[in-house]
């Protein structure tokens, strides 16, 4: 199965966070099960920490990530989830990209490796999550 990797996990590894060991272990286990993928949102969130696109590309290429484009169906799922979130009193300040990762996984039938599963569990319960307990 292909696993979509959230930026939280990549940033753990790249920035040597306290979660680095957990994230590296989960990446390794997911890679044994199939491809590891990123999308444009993850790419942009990770790119913030790089000084050049070439360096970012070398880092991602060396890790072997598949580039998975956002399916159009994810846009609809994002809109529905965000509307539900707002109807339940959620903050307008929460950016839509937070919903795009879960929607992408749901629309494409991907597993999702993330350290922040809260919104995915709530709004995309069909997504197979790899996340801390």
DSSP sequence for the chain: --EEEPHHHHHHHHTT-TTHHHHHHHHHHHHHHS-EEE-HHHHHHHHTT-S-HHHHHHHHHHHT-EE-PPPHHHHHHHHHHHHHHHHTT--TTS-THHHHHHHHHHHHT-EEE-S--HHHHHH-TTS-EE---
Is the model more confident about 93 or about 126?
126
Region 3-130: CATH code:
3.40.50.1010
Cα 51 → chain centroid: 22
pTM of the model as a whole: 0.92
Give per-residue pLDDT as tens, 54-85: 999 999 998 899 999 999 999 999 999 999 99
């Amino acid at each position: 199965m292909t696993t979509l990797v959230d930026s939280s996990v990549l940033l753990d590894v790249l920035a040597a966070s306290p979660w680095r060991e957990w994230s590296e272990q989960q990446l390794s286990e997911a890679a044994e099960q199939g491809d590891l993928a990123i999308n444009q949102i993850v790419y942009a969130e990770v790119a913030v920490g790089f000084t050049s696109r070439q360096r970012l590309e070398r880092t991602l290429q060396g890790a072997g990530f598949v580039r998975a484009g956002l399916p159009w169906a994810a846009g609809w799922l994002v809109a529905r989830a965000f509307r539900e979130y707002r109807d339940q009193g959620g903050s307008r300040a929460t950016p839509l990209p937070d919903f795009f990762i879960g929607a992408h996984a749901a629309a494409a039938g991907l597993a999702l490796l993330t350290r922040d599963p809260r919104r995915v569990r709530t709004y995309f319960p069909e997504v197979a999550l790899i996340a801390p307990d």
